Structure 1
Amino acid sequence: MTPDQVKLVQHSFESVAPIADAAADMFYARLFEIAPELRPLFPEDMREQKSKLMRMLGVAVRNLHQLDQVLPAVKDLGARHVAYGVTDAHYAPVGAALLHTLARGLGDAWTPELEAAWTETYMAVAGVMQNAAAEAAAKAGATA
């Protein structure tokens, strides 16, 4: 990610943070619409899950300019997702739901440049999570 992309993502997230509850609702509604097979991976009561999503997203976005500060948490999150049944195939619909939510939430501020910056951000974070998940799965397989 370029420094300009980092600034774009961070600045745009400032507009999302005040509507965090609505954004989380939009995100999960879209995710379960495009990937209904993912619904069983989540609790029936989604309140805590929605809060966790927005907190983690906020931490990641605020620290994009200093990724070394957030990488351990992102890696841990990726490794934990193995136990939840998350696979590599699940990352694409999550990314699509995130971009859809941001586009709706940001309205006219959602430009091709901002979409590219958010796409790059998601791909980077998802890549770290997927690598950590693969390492965790390999370790689990080695000890089984």
Structure 2
Amino acid sequence: MALVVDSWAKVAAIENFEAVAGELLFRRIFEINPGAKAFFAFAKEDSDNDIYQSEMFQTHSRAVITTVDAAVGLLKTNNMDTLVSVLRGLGAKHVAMNLEQAHYDLVGQALLDTLAKAVGDDFTDEVKEAWVGVYGVIVANMMEGARSKKERQQQPAETEKRNAKTEMEDAMVELKRITVEKVTQALLNAENKALADQERIQAEVAAELERVKEFKAKRDAQEAAAKAQEAAEKAQEAATNLESVSEDPVEDEQMDESLVRKDLDESDILYNQRSCAQYVMDKLFVRA
């Protein structure tokens, strides 16, 4: 890995290395196999010079070299998981080109030639072997990414329907869960409101009962006061009558005489009652 990283650092040290290395790479690809131009939209021009000067070519070639630079950077940091993910994604992106092993071999040979020209004498056989190994990893992961995408694209319609059905069922389950949560929350809110209303009504009833008690107490006090007033008036009337009686001696004597006469009459009645009882007793004893 160190040989790959160090040799690429020499390429990256070249001014505007993305453009320089990109042009070297594609010139070498088309030198080895001119028919490879059919794979690239920018290569449909009649003149090679027009190809390399076009904005489309420069954009594409820079992107290729930038990808290589990123891959070497991931190798340098030993971030292999990310590197594999990037390479497989790149392979899936190029699946429409129907690239085969021969196409990857063509690009690999052109890359080695480009590195040899850019690095010069430092591109030893040992460095070359290191790049061959790394490029093999790159190709393997790109082809795996393309293969996986093709398989997904070739899935039977029934499988897609099953997947769609599963997604729909999952969506319905999620919708049901959300609905249950909303209904539960609504019921909880209603219950809380009912409890609050009940407490409010109880407070209002208690306040009304208190007002009734106060009203009743006030009414009872008024009635008691009225009765006391009436009793006071009667007492006053009795006192007035008593005063009037005390002021008339003749009338007092007449009242005394009347009372004496009444007592005598009551004594006569008692005497007569005793006489009758004695008479009855006598008769009873005679019969016996």
Q: Give TM-score, length-normalised by structure 1.
A: 0.89
Quick one: distance in 1 between partners of 2:36 and 2:156?
28
Q: 1:46 matched to which residue of 2?
A: 57
Pairwise CA distance, 1:143: 4.8
Moved over 3 A (4+): none
Deviations 1:83-124 (A, max 9, x none): 233233210101000001001111100001100001101011
3-state DSSP class of the match of 2:41? coil
Q: Give the CA deviation at 1:7.
A: 1.1
Write the distance in 2 (CA, Å) between the matches of 1:20 and 1:122: 18
User: Is structure 2 residue 147 aligned with structure 1 residue 134?
Assistant: yes
Root-mean-square deviation over aligned CA pairs? 1.4
Identity of aligned pairs, percent? 31
CA contact (8 A) 2:19 2:58 kept: no
Worse-matched range after superposition: 50-59 or 76-85: 76-85
* Mapped contact 2:89–2:145 kept (Cα < 8 A): yes
- 2:96 pairs with 1:101: no
Alpha-carbon offset, residue 49 of structure 1: 0.6
Residue 101 of structure 2 aligns to which amino acid in structure 1? D
CA distance in 2 between partners of 1:113 and 1:128 (Å): 23
- Cα separation, 2, equivalents of 1:46 and 1:82: 20
Distance 1:31 1:112 in 2: 21
Other-structure match for 1:9: 4
Q: C-alpha separation between the residues in 1 aligned to 2:156 and 2:34?
A: 33
Cα deviation for residue 37 of structure 1 reads 2.1
Q: In the alignment, which residue of structure 2 is the partner of 1:122?
A: 135
CA drift of 1:131 comes to 1.3
Which of 52, 62, 74 aligns to 1:63? It is 74
Structure 1: state its 5+ residue gaps.
1-5
Output the amino acid matched with 1:35: N
| Change beyond 3 A, Cα 1:94–1:85 | same
How many residue pairs end up in the alignment?
A: 139
Check whether the contact 1:74–1:128 (CA below 8 A) recurs between aligned residues: yes
User: Deviation of residue 78 (structure 1)?
Assistant: 0.4
The one-letter code matched in structure 2 to 1:78 is G
Conservation of the 8 A alpha-carbon contact between 1:74 and 1:125: yes
Larger RCO of the pair (alpha carbons < 8 Å, separation 6+) = 1
Report deviation, 1:70.
1.8
Match of 2:29 among 13, 31, 47: 31
Computing the radius of gyration over CA atoms, which structure comes out larger, 1 or 2? 2
Alpha-carbon shift at residue 42 of structure 1 (Å): 1.4
Task: Write the distance in 2 (CA, Å) between the matches of 1:122 and 1:81.
Answer: 17
**Alignment gaps of 5+ in structure 2:** 43-55, 158-288
Q: Distance in 2 between matches of 1:80 and 1:107?
A: 33
1:83 aligns with 2:96: yes
Q: Could you tell me how far 1:21 is from its partner in structure 2?
A: 1.7
8 A contact 1:27–1:97 mirrored in 2:
yes
Q: Secondary structure at the match of 1:142?
A: coil
Between 132-141 and 57-66, report the one with greater CA deviation: 132-141
Question: Residue type of the partner of 1:8?
Answer: L
